[in-house]
Every structure is written in C-alpha cells, then in structure tokens.
Amino acid sequence: MKNIYRIEHNGQTCHALYQGDEWFSLKGDLYGEFKVGDRLEVVKPRILAPLISSKIVAVGLNYKDHAAEMNKALPAEPLIFLKPSTAIIGPGDSIVIPPQAGRIDYEAEVGVVIGRVARNVPADRAQEYVLGLTCVNDVTDRDLQKRDVQYTRAKGFDTFAPIGPCVAPVELDIPLGVESRVNGELRQNSSTSELIFSIRELIQFVTAVMTLLPGDIISTGTPPGVGALTPGDRVVVAVEGVGELGNDVIQSGASSAGADNQS
C-alpha cells in the first residue's frame, strides 16, 4: 500500500493515496480495511497533518549517539511524556514562537502511528498494531524544560508538534535514516539502528502504561545535533521511506501559514 496523505480537496479534507504522479481517494476505513479509490482531479493539493491524534507519547534520550553527545548514561527504561493534540500542525504550517519564549529547539523524530486500539501489546506482535510511520518535529522550549524539570509546558505549546507529510507503511525492524536541516544546512543525521529502545520495545512499554487509540503517535526520540530555531528559519525533518516535513518559524503575532489541521 502506498503512503497515506490527508489533503484539502474542493474545500473538504480527505485521506488520499499518491501514486504515479496522481492522487486517488482512500476508500474504506483508515483504521480498518481500505483500498485505492477514485482518481482525484487535483494536481498540487494542500497537504495537511496526516491525522489528528488523541495524544503523542514522546520518548526522551533514546539514541545511543545522542546520549553520548549529552554525556549521559543510557537509561534503564524509556522516559516518556505527552504532547497534546492541540500542538499538531502539518507540512507548510508555521511553528509559532510564543511570547517571552526561551531557546526553541528542533528535534527530528520518527513517529509510530497506531492503527488499532492497543493495550498490553507484546513486542513480537507490535507490527499488528501499527498503521505506519511519520515524521515528527518535537519542538521544545529548552529553557522551560530545564526550569520545570518535567516537559509538559516546554513541549506542549500550540504548533510544537509538526507531523507529516504522510503515514508510510514501513516494516518496524528495518533501520531508517533520520535527519533534520535548518535553512538547508544538515543538523541531524542518524539512523533508527541507534535507538536504545526499539520501536517494538517502545510499543510494549507504552501500552503497558496506557491504552493507545487509533491515530495516536509514539515519537521515538531524537538523534544528536539538536539546536535552536529563530524567526525566519525553515526546518525540515526527513525520515527514510516517509518523506520530508518542512515548516517555517515565525514569532507570535506574525502572519501564520494557517494551522487548521484540527478540522
């Protein structure tokens, strides 16, 4: 099955599949049985966040090379925290720096999109519960993160969870490249082979704590090379097999590209 997009078409939003330079409707249930539908009369649609999650469960310090960069010991178990659904924006939408913000960092991550209700999932059955993978930028106010100790405020602002551009049906055990670029300059460049806790292990760990619903995302941690963003920057997160997620950075009060992805 091809990558799944969510697009704006004729004033409506719909899920669509892109193949052979053409767009096709997704016929059926995104979280059940679906197939390629009718060809859509559209050339270059507006691509939205591929889905709206009830929550993003993010993981801290989950790359061996990032732990080495930070001079920290490898964690004994995953460190998880939540990002709210209201932080989600899509490709081309603007990351808005809030008033009186501290240092705002980008964090390129692989997002695992859950495809069915998941509770107490064993690692060897994890693939059965996954719709696919997407790109995530875990935008973070680093100063607030240090001040608050916990991560909710620092990572929960509106627009602090760009996701997209699609959901790609990728096998969980295949190593994938992960990178970020700011204004065209490569900043992060690693692979999921560097994960401390594999995607399967994360699904088992998280679903032992909470029920994951269809469309929920596990954001699997960021590789080394995180850094600051300023208004006027453009940040691109890329995951091998998924694509590229690009967003401009603006100051609060400036004109935004319009994040209406809650529709």
Q: Which residues of the chain have pLDDT under 50?
A: 258-263
Strands 95-97 and 243-251: parallel
Both structure tokens of 89? 């924006």
- State phi, psi for 237 to the nearest 5 degrees: -105, 135
In this prediction, residue 43 carries a pLDDT of 82
Domains annotated for the chain, with CATH where assigned, are: 4-47 (no CATH), 50-251 (3.90.850.10)
The dihedral sign for the CA sequence 260, 80, 69, 171: negative
Confidence (pLDDT) at 72: 82
Of 170, 134, 116, which is closest to residue 49 (Cα–Cα)?
A: 134
CA pseudo-torsion sign 189, 191, 194, 198? positive
pLDDT value for 255? 60
Structure tokens at 259: 């994040």
Specify the pTM.
0.94
